Structure 1
Amino acid sequence: MWHGEFRDPRLVEVYDAECPWGWDDDFFMAVLAEHSAPRVLDLGCGTGRLAIAMAAAGHDVTGVDPAHASLDAARRKPGAARVRWIEGSVEVLPAKSFDAAFLTSHVSQFIVGDDEWAGALHALRRALVTGGRLVFDSRDPAARHWKEWNPEDSRRSIVLDDGAAVTAWSEVTSVEDGVVSFTQHYRFPGGRQATSTARMRFRTEEELREQLSVAGFRVDRVYGGWGREPVGLSGDGELIVIAVAESPPNL
């Protein structure tokens, strides 16, 4: 299934079990607290872990995601009533409605095509007030993370809330022009198996800076890790971008 971790209710449960609160969430919460941002957008909010925490911290949060099953899981969580949940993507974003926008868990990389990514950045610029911040993470292609996405190195056991253990592993199927296609495999107790396919675009720091500038953003910071290390000096191998919405023409 295409993006099964977000669209298949059983795989959504697996995703939630495998992705608890982490250092990346701590980072995003700290960045959010650095400036006044009453109205926050979490685009690609998934099952709502971060959106709910932001709302609990006192922000007016809108969580947007195209996957119905993920939003269902988000709405069932404690504190979910504080968040405005919307099924959709950038096409549903109202103009000048947010002081900060976040794309976390490498959501930006799932926007693969150049035109699609440019359109998303322009939509985010329109949705932000001037001076608002766009914050997102993207894996650094120089770190070649996909080299570890093979059945041997990626095999793991994921324990669900009911105690069942799911065996999972990853398999890259192609790497071409910065786009990595891969399949996630899941084996449930009793032998049932499921797969999820996806593609991710790996963009360089230079590409991201240029694309953001064209869309009307000024890049404020780019970190290479969750401890705010410079790019290339962290084992995290990230490009964590904080950009500021400016007042460009043609928006």
Structure 2
Amino acid sequence: MPDALFAHPRLAPIYDAFDGDRDDLTAYLGIADELGAESVLDVGCGTGSLAILLARGGRTVVAVDPAEASLDVAKSKDTAQAVTWVHGDATTMSMPSADLATMTGNVAQVFLTDHNWARALRGVHAILGPHGNLVFETRRPERRAWEEWAADAAPHTLDIPGIGSVERSCEVTHVNLPFVSFRYSYRFMADGAVITSDSTLRFRDRAEVELSLAVQGYRILDVREAPDRPGHELVFIAERTT
């Protein structure tokens, strides 16, 4: 079940406003160019920011997400209708083979159990063509990002066109490593409505991620720093080998 942040019809349309400029996506465009990817599967595409950028470069893009409200936002932004949007996930969909699959943001960390993470990797593996690539990022556990979240808990208010002022606050609700839970609360000033969204992420260390990839038939080509967040995240580039 997707978090309300992505699935609620009042929260999905304001996601981009609070998410800010997606400087992190430039690196993914560069990697797609580097790998010569002409067809891309964007797993957990959310509101479609990366998928639309990839399609503008002339690539064939399929974007999948389990949150229908986020897909509605993505479709409204895709004025050229250049992306194929799919409601679901990589374990249930079928499509022609892709050169590249991507998971940006926290997507790789929402798979809390080893079983679900393995299923996601297998699902992507089945869609990738021979020597196709999977690229994703994950937060370094040793950076203890949740401590920064807890220290920066002051409410933040934005005036969003067509919606009005919205106040967002974040609270870290539970830390039991490798799991970290947190809650976003949104107050809509126009009518006073308060909507909350609870999330949990799993923080896997580098060795754990590398082993999971090897078991599911991937070879790691490179592990890089996220250029917009050096020292905070790792970007894995893996190749399908079997």
What TM-score do you get using the length of structure 1 for normalisation? 0.89
SS at match of 2:99: strand
Q: Contact between 2:2 and 2:67, CA under 8 Å: does it hold in 1?
A: no
Q: Contact between 1:209 and 1:219, CA under 8 Å: does it hold in 2?
A: yes
Q: Could you tell me how far 1:16 is from its partner in structure 2?
A: 1.6
- The reply to whether residue 30 of structure 1 matches residue 19 of structure 2 is no
- The reply to whether residue 104 of structure 1 matches residue 128 of structure 2 is no
What TM-score do you get using the length of structure 2 for normalisation? 0.93
**Aligned-pair RMSD on alpha carbons?**
2.0
Q: Contact between 2:2 and 2:66, CA under 8 Å: does it hold in 1?
A: no
How far apart, CA to CA, are the structure 2 residues paired with 1:50 and 1:2?
A: 19
Q: Could you tell me how far 1:240 is from its partner in structure 2?
A: 1.1
Describe the superposition over 1:144-198 as per-residue Cα deviations: whole angstroms up to 9, x where unpaired.
Answer: 1111223753532233123722111111111113011111111111432110011
For 2:223, the equivalent position in structure 1 comes to 222
For 1:239, the equivalent position in structure 2 comes to 234
Unaligned runs of 5+ in 2: none
Q: Give the direction of change, closer, same or farther, for the CA distance of 1:151–1:238 in structure 2 (3 Å limit).
A: closer
How far apart, CA to CA, are the structure 1 residues paired with 2:222 and 2:234?
A: 10
For 2:137, the equivalent position in structure 1 comes to 137
Q: Contact between 1:13 and 1:160, CA under 8 Å: does it hold in 2?
A: no
The count of corresponding residues between Structure 1 and Structure 2 is 241
For 1:150, the equivalent position in structure 2 comes to 150
Q: Which shifted more, 134-143 or 11-20?
A: 11-20
Q: Which amino acid aligns with 1:44?
A: G
**What pairs up with 1:191-210 in 2 under 5 angstroms?**
191-210=192-211
Q: Contact between 1:101 and 1:134, CA under 8 Å: does it hold in 2?
A: yes
How far apart, CA to CA, are the structure 2 residues paired with 1:78 and 1:95?
A: 20
Q: Contact between 2:91 and 2:124, CA under 8 Å: does it hold in 1?
A: no
Percent of residue pairs bearing the same amino acid type: 37
**What pairs up with 1:1-251 in 2 under 5 angstroms?**
3-79=3-79, 81-94=81-94, 97-150=97-150, 152-162=152-162, 164-190=164-190, 191-226=192-227, 234-235=230-231, 237-247=232-242
Q: Which amino acid aligns with 1:88?
A: G
SS at match of 2:171: strand
